[in-house]
Amino acid sequence: MKIEAVSEVLKSADLEPPTLDVLIPDVSNYTALLMQPRGDIEASEAGIHNRDRDLAKLQFSGFLRFAEGIAADLVITPEVFHALGSSDRSNQARLHTQTG
């Protein structure tokens, strides 16, 4: 496994690291949400996925809408979906996706 500094990966793509409130060392509170989807999994050489992808998409869409609605500072899920289910993306800049 190749380990690279996030700052270097972003730099190579002409991107700046996001400012995450949870990493600012002060007395401010922050909101963190964690989600483990319900359902059976299937594994193959292509990866590990929720067997019922429609259910998974529905769960993640609702979870991300909730996170956006409360302006969560940190959102953690085991899979990555970009399915907000809405064309309103005015607050999407607060949501950052990390894969790994």
Does the pLDDT of residue 67 top 70, yes or no?
Answer: yes
Q: Where are the domains of the chain?
A: 20-94
**Residue-wise pLDDT tens digits, 13-63:** 999 888 888 888 999 999 999 988 888 888 888 777 788 888 888 888 899
Distance CA 35, CA 64 (A): 10
Q: Which two tokens stand for residue 75?
A: 């959102």
- Please state, as a whole number, how many other Cβ atoms lie within 10 Å of the Cβ of residue 63: 19
pLDDT at 94: 52
- Please state, as a whole number, how many other Cβ atoms lie within 10 Å of the Cβ of residue 24: 10
pTM of the model: 0.61
pLDDT at 92: 47
Cα distances (angstroms) measured from residue 92 to each of 2, 7, 37, 42, 82: 30, 21, 21, 30, 11
Q: How confident is the model at residue 79 (pLDDT cuts 50, 70, 90)?
A: low
